[in-house]
Amino acid sequence: MLLRYFYDRALAHASYLVGCQQAKQALIVDPGRDIGPYLDAAKREGMEIVAVAETHIHADYVSGARELAERVGAKLYVSDEGPADWKYQYLSPYDHQLCKDGDKFQLGKIQFEVLHTPGHTPESISFVLTDHGGGADKPMGIFTGDFIFVGSIGRPDLLEKAAGFAGTAEIGARELYRSVERFHELPDYLQVWPAHGAGSACGKGLGAIPSSTVGYEKLFNPALQYKDEKEFVRYILADQPESPKYFAVMKRINKEGPAVLGEQTPLTPLNADAFDDAIAQGQVIDLSIPSVFAAGHAKGALNIPAGMLATWAGWLLEYNKPVYLVAQAGQVEEALRVLNKIGIDAVDGLFLHEDLRDAGKLLSTYPNATPEELSDRIASEKVNLIDVRSIGEWNTGHIPQAQHLFLGELPASLDQIDRNKPVVTQCQSGMRSSVAASLLVNAGFDVINLAGGYNAWNRAGLPTQTASTSCHGDACPST
């Protein structure tokens, strides 16, 4: 048997190639939309990708299952568990098998057994792998999808918070408890191969280690320590990270069937004269690093640095409006790939940064200022300090005068900000607050970005507080 691990850092997404070396056939577990790495790996190993096994209808990225079915004829093994709302709707043109609890299927000498493990989603399944080609008569590991992570488990509240299915969070939590009970019955020696790592919004407190074992998770995974269902439900529904609004779009796309991308056509840069029309018609994303954007950008552009695109484009872009990019030539291919992964299939135009500069379009600016430069104005409330971090970061420690407005929800929160004072945007390091600064500048606010963010404020020994205490600099609780 051959097992290859793929990890998309931008989405904290793990997927796997499982190959039977005797049959020279491979299967992909929970593929991402960019199928190139799977095709390349299979070619290197002398294998043919013949199947896809998907654990559930994903909410945080566009699945590559349909792309593989269309382009290489892969058979789809997908869940037939859960209610009618969570059945795949695009399968009929493709070779597929609907999987229920207890079903088994083969890849050469490798057997996969289906376990229904609902809770994160109603249709969620896991795949238990046994390598008969190696002479084993007991399973080696389990692909858990978004059910069991290293050090955590999948959150049950996304259908309610992100997809709008009222009342499903507690139901999902109770289903998850029963799935955990079933997990406890598995042999300790089984390897655990999850679909996400640290940074994913599909659970809280995910570990950064790529795999684990059933026995280790039984011992040390906090979510697996509860013996009382009510206590478990209380734990799993508390302190979950914010639910990205684009998750509802991903659920719909993956249920109905993503468009097949095929080979991509390179974007031809637009003339700088077309920029004003692009602003009027749609939304323009400038991929520059914050310092470059602050020093000079085209009026109306939203700054989402290239490295932050996967995280924040889904929060801040409207899927029903045209999207344009401002980029350096070398950034475009990867930016398009990232946007495709979160369901933005068509970018309507590209402006090269140097073309806008040469046309005299980069005239808008906003200032950055250090904590020392701003501390007196913040303390005397001559400025509005807007903290755009997550609620978990805010609870750990924040500046006393700050108003908490999470970045992902900031476009809908503008009416909560006083327009009669300058606004200071602040995050942990100064990166997310730069995105917020560009958004607020476009909304007509007088904006200053806090350089270095909360980290710099804390290092300067300036006042901070948690929910119940006040402190100064290094005297604070861990922040």
Give which of 407, 392, 443 is closest to 244, Cα–Cα.
407
Catalytic entry in 202, 427, 471, 476: 427
Residue indicated by tokens 């600099």 = 473
20 is catalytic: no
Question: Distance of CA 246 to CAs 123, 195, 243, Å?
Answer: 20, 19, 9
The single residue listed with the structure tokens 């475009």 is 332
- Give bridge partners of residue 450 from the DSSP assignment: 369
The answer to whether 324 and 284 are in contact (CB under 8 A) is yes
* Helix/strand/coil (H/E/C) assignment for every residue in 417-470: CCCCCCEEEECCCCCHHHHHHHHHHHCCCCEEEECCHHHHHHHCCCEEECCCCE
User: What SS3 class is residue 115?
Assistant: strand
- With both helix axes pointing from N to C terminus, report the angle between 309-316 and 247-256 in degrees, rounded to the nearest 10: 90
Is 393 within 8 Å of 432 (Cβ atoms)? Answer: no
What are residue 368's DSSP bridge partners? 449
Q: How far is CA 276 from CA 204, 298, 305, 320, 362, in A?
A: 42, 9, 21, 19, 12
How many Cβ atoms are within 10 Å of 393's Cβ, its own excluded?
18
Phi/psi class of residue 456: alpha, beta or left (left: φ > 0; alpha: ψ in -120 to 50)?
alpha
Active site residues: 427
